């Protein structure tokens, strides 16, 4: 009987286009970076991910989403934690050319945990984000 590897929880704030590509992967992988995106930045703090999704993604993409996922801790040890602001502003910097290998070390599914948009009304019960499913208003193909 084999045991599961130790994992680390990461969060990723994202916009609708990237979220749709994650959905198309079956919620198992992050899409390749665009040429102007040489680094993939998962974060180590849910509150930080929420701030980015709410304050940056909504402004630039019309909606922001927070995802949560597990990655093998031993694999992640190659990426030093980057403190890019206050004590809780922590990221990992994964070079774009290593993203396929990073994806191979995700354990389980990428889960959608929060949705933010320009709308002021609260999300009606039953229409909020559900782990593993697109949130209300997320693009469908």
pLDDT tens digits, one per residue of 51-96: 999 999 999 999 999 999 999 999 999 999 999 988 889 999 999 9
- The pLDDT, as a whole number, for residue 127 is 39
The one-character DSSP state at 43 is: B
Q: Give the C-alpha distances (Å, rounded to integers) separating 27 from 87, 90, 100.
A: 30, 24, 14
Q: How confident is the model over 35-54, as a mean pLDDT?
A: 96
Q: Is the pLDDT of residue 133 over 60?
A: no
Phi, psi of 42 (to 5 degrees): -75, 155
Retrieve residue 106's tokens.
Answer: 């995700």
Query: Pick from 59, 51, 21, 50: which is nearest to 37 by CA?
Result: 21
Residue 33: CB atoms within 10 Å: 16
In the chain, where do the E strands start and end?
7-14, 39-40, 63-72, 81-83, 90-92, 94-95, 106-117
């Amino acid at each position: 009987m084999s045991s599961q590897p130790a994992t680390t929880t990461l969060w990723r704030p994202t916009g609708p286009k990237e979220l749709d590509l994650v959905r198309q992967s079956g919620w198992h992988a992050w899409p390749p970076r665009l040429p102007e995106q040489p680094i993939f930045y998962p974060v180590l703090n849910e509150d930080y991910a929420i701030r980015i999704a709410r304050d940056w993604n909504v402004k630039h993409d019309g909606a922001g989403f927070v995802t949560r996922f597990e990655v093998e801790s031993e694999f992640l040890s190659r990426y030093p934690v980057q403190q890019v602001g206050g004590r809780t502003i922590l990221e990992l910097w994964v070079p774009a050319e290593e993203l396929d290998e990073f994806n191979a070390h995700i354990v389980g599914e990428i889960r959608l945990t929060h949705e933010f948009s320009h709308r002021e009304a609260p999300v009606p019960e039953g229409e909020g984000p559900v782990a593993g499913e697109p949130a209300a208003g997320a693009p469908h193909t």
